[in-house]
Structure 1
Amino acid sequence: MDQTGDVFCQIVSGDLEAAVVTRTDELVAFLDHRPVFKGHVLIAPVEHVDTMLELPPTLMAPLLTLAQRVARAQQQVLGAQGSFVAMNNVVSQSVPHLHLHVVPRRRGDGLRGFFWPRTRYGDGEARQLADDLAAALP
């Protein structure tokens, strides 16, 4: 994949300015330039990774650990009562570089969540699907 148009790779390389919160050898955390709420942070691997399916297992714990640290900082600095943590993979992924959103939340902040369509399982369908998914796990 040609990554020259990947804005997160450009942020990592220093070719594109961003409000960086922190950076390690593995990850970079920076403010979203179009935040849901002020203090909305994106965390991305320094090395290009398209989606969660390609994320090396060695980065999983550091990614969530940094998200936890950011959420705590949002509570301290912004008075956030909680956080919304999310990652899109391909569908609704606006930048083709894995990134985790850590959005500060407060009760009554106006974010109503997502209105996903809901469905129901038929008799035995849930158990069969759970078994099929378990069998397909690597």
Structure 2
Amino acid sequence: MSHYQDPEPDGDADLPCAFCAIISGEAAAQIIAETEDVLCFLDHLPATYGHVLVIPKQHFNDLTDIPDTAFRSVMDTAKRIANAMLDSCSASGINLVHATGKSAHQTVFHFFLGQFRYVS
């Protein structure tokens, strides 16, 4: 999960989004990979060493909101990051984590995958 905080969406398109601020350059982040549609950066309060957030550059609230094409772009990028972690970061395992909704502990209401690497 991410330690970034966002207000819960209530349909107001003007609510601030921590991840949109990173995408636009208004907020700093350690970007590790980028495609035309996806941005990957280190979580500023990592749960594990190498805790990466993979997000679409276009704002979608959650899993129910993201179109299939954007979801595939995020997953394709997450797979490339996972392979890089396995190849060059001594990872022996990878977790992908996603939460949709406040009750599932979604903290930023911009679709994202938390990607964690583990070493055995």
What is the TM-score normalised by the length of structure 1? 0.73
**Off by >3 Å, runs of 4+ in structure 1:** none
Identical amino acids, percent of aligned pairs: 28
The superposition leaves residues 97-137 of structure 1 with CA deviations (integer Å, 9 ceiling, x where unpaired) of: 11001100122xxxxxxxxxxxxxxxxxxxxxxxxxxxxxx
Provide the aligned C-alpha RMSD in A. Answer: 1.2
The superposition leaves residues 34-71 of structure 1 with CA deviations (integer Å, 9 ceiling, x where unpaired) of: 11111110011101100010111111221111111111
Equivalence for 2:105? 92
Unaligned runs of 5+ in 2: 1-11
- Which has more radius of gyration? 1
Equivalence for 1:105? 118
Question: Which of residues 26, 31, 50 is equivalent to 2:42?
Answer: 31
Determine if the alignment matches structure 1 residue 73 to structure 2 residue 66. no
8 Å contact 1:22–1:29 — kept in the other structure?
yes
8 Å contact 1:3–1:9 — kept in the other structure?
no
State the shift of 1:79 in Å.
0.1
What is the TM-score normalised by the length of structure 2? 0.83
Question: Which of residues 80, 93, 97 is equivalent to 1:82?
Answer: 93
Give the match's secondary structure for 1:61. helix
State the shift of 1:32 in Å.
0.7
Unaligned runs of 5+ in 1: 108-138
The superposition leaves residues 74-104 of structure 1 with CA deviations (integer Å, 9 ceiling, x where unpaired) of: 1223200010111000121111111001100
8 Å contact 1:84–1:104 — kept in the other structure?
yes
Task: Name which of structure 1's ranges 96-105 and 68-77 shifts more when overlaid on structure 2.
Answer: 68-77
Amino acid at match of 1:30: F
